[in-house]
Chain A
Amino acid sequence: NAGVTQTPKFQVLKTGQSMTLQCAQDMNHNSMYWYRQDPGMGLRLIYYSASEGTTDKGEVPNGYNVSRLNKREFSLRLESAAPSQTSVYFCASSTDRVRVGTGELFFGEGSRLTVL
């Protein structure tokens, strides 16, 4: 099993460009998440999807959109990248059952994005 796979691993964008981060999991998990990690800030939740067909905002959703394409895939889109979006992005899926936040998170290896 591959677990959680993120692509790309590295990306450099210019301000105003758009891009999509892809995430796929092969563990049949219902819940999927996008976090960003910045130095000294820990991980902050951008968006999550408790189940196929639903998405919800997290702590820092501005400037991002998401799509839960099917149970396996959850993508994160930056429509007009800004330098403040330079960060490491982590996708995760979870063994959540009845409620989000109750299960163990499985993380991808991260996507390192630089916006110039």
Chain B
Amino acid sequence: SQQGEEDPQALSIQEGENATMNCSYKTSINNLQWYRQNSGRGLVHLILIRSNEREKHSGRLRVTLDTSKKSSSLLITASRAADTASYFCATDDQGNTPLVFGKGTRLSVIA
């Protein structure tokens, strides 16, 4: 099944730095979503970007989508220790299928 693939698998940065995570996928999509998961908790939706959008912002989050390269990036600016979590991208198929998740990027923000 189609699956987004995040890169890098793990990322460690200092508080205040920016964190960039990438997601690549295989087939055409209607939308791509990013989720965060704190250790031992459920996933929380961060942002949804549609296939006709190129960039979207939400607070300190910036998501870009390049459908020609089948890739997306999530940028977290001015990171905080509380941003420490795993981040997942999820994609649909254009043919009415549920979201499929990648394996995630583990972000550690060191105070």
Residues of A within 8 A of B (CB): 4, 31, 33, 35, 40-45, 48, 58-59, 90, 92, 99-102, 104-110
Q: Is A104 within 8 A of B45, CB to CB?
A: yes
CA distance A100 to B100 in the complex (A): 11
Number of interface residues of B (CB under 8 A): 26
Min distance, Cβ B22 to any Cβ of chain A, angstroms: 15
Partner of B97, one of A100, A104, A106: A100
Min distance, Cβ A99 to any Cβ of chain B, angstroms: 4
7 smallest CB-CB distances across A and B, nearest first, come from A101-B92, A107-B42, A42-B103, A43-B101, A99-B96, A107-B43, A104-B45
B1 proximal to A (CB < 8 A) = yes
Give the residues in chain A near B82, CB-CB below 8 Å: none
Partner of A43, one of B31, B40, B44, B88: B88
In the complex where A42-B88, A109-B42 touch, is A104 in contact with B101 (Cβ < 8 A)? no
Give the residues in chain A near B3, CB-CB below 8 Å: 42
Interface-central residue, A43, A44, A92, A110, by most chain B CB under 10 Å? A43
Partner of B98, one of A33, A41, A108, A109: A33
In the complex where A40-B103, A42-B88, A59-B1 touch, is A105 in contact with B97 (Cβ < 8 A)? no
Give the residues in chain B near A100, CB-CB below 8 Å: 92, 96-98
In the complex where A90-B42, A110-B41 touch, is A101 in contact with B93 (Cβ < 8 A)? yes
Give the residues in chain B near A90, CB-CB below 8 Å: 42-43
B33 proximal to A (CB < 8 A) = yes
Min distance, Cβ B72 to any Cβ of chain A, angstroms: 16
Q: Is B98 within 8 A of A42, CB to CB?
A: no
Give the residues in chain B near A99, CB-CB below 8 Å: 30, 96
| Beyond A42-B3, A100-B97, A106-B45, 6 extra complex contacts between A and B, CB < 8 Å | A43-B88, A92-B43, A101-B97, A101-B99, A102-B92, A110-B40
In the complex where A42-B3, A43-B101, A59-B1 touch, is A107 in contact with B44 (Cβ < 8 A)? yes
Interface string of B90-111 (1 = CB under 8 A from A): 1011001111111110000000
Query: Closest residue of chain A to B29, judged by CB?
Result: A101
